[in-house]
Amino acid sequence: MKFFVDTAIIAEIKELNDYGLLDGVTTNPSLIAKSGRNFKEVIAEICEVVDGPVSAEVAAMDYDGMVAEGEHLAQIADNVVIKLPLTLDGLKACRHFTAKGIKTNVTLCFAANQALLAAKAGATYISPFVGRLDDLNIDGMTLIHEIREIYDNYGFETQILAASIRSANHVKDAAIAGADVATIPASVIKGLANHTLTDKGLDQFAKDWAATGQSIL
């Protein structure tokens, strides 16, 4: 499973990239607002840091507006992925960009039938929002399983990008469900390395090593 980081904060992206843990980046209007930075500048900067796909979301709600904005955003860098909402106009715009060879990420997916439509529109990625379904007491991970089954039934090549991932268990469960990618907050990605028994074992090894009085170099 590929890891994308869900952020518009350059320092977070650089840190994860340096660890070799990053396959791509997703942003959304809320994350851009949180960064306090100019949208197009921040996307250009992310694309310089990361080789993989970088999702930039259109703000328009209508087909013509989405096409105009998406074509503008696609010029920023070759690895920009146009993020489009799962609406009828968004699906039509997805079809337009796919025909032009521009990658797309269809976002705000909360139902398997929506994911079916995105695949039929030729989306590169579909983003089902796991955490936001969990917030409503609906099991978000069931949606990932359903989409996996549907896409496998028909050989759709659209990649399942598990989104709204909030915890280490979400990451593990998305991997078990067969998501192609998970987009994850930086803190959650770094937290995946943590285990209390790792810390305990390391403390003991450090004490025992010190008692030997040896040095390796």
Catalytic center residues: 83
Residues 6+ apart with CB under 8 A from 141: 130, 170, 173, 174, 177
Could you tell me how many residues of this chain bind ligand E4P (CB under 6 A)? 11
- Contact by Cβ (8 Å): 65, 58: yes
H or E segment and range at residue 57: strand 54-57
- Which residue stretch of 65-73, 86-94, 123-131, 141-149 sits at the interface with ligand E4P (rule: CB under 6 A)? 123-131
Task: Check residue 34 and report its DSSP letter.
Answer: H
- Contact by Cβ (8 Å): 143, 130: yes
CB of 6 to ligand E4P, least distance (A): 5
Which of 17, 104, 107, 159 lies at the binding interface for ligand E4P (CB under 6 A)?
A: 107
CA dihedral (87, 93, 95, 97) positive or negative: negative
CB of 83 to ligand E4P, least distance (A): 7
Based on the shown chain and the rule CB under 6 A, indicate whether residue 131 belongs to the binding site for ligand E4P.
yes
Based on the shown chain and the rule CB under 6 A, indicate whether residue 7 belongs to the binding site for ligand E4P.
no
Pick 177 or 204: Cβ nearer ligand E4P: 177
- Which residue stretch of 44-52, 87-95, 124-132, 209-217 sits at the interface with ligand E4P (rule: CB under 6 A)? 124-132
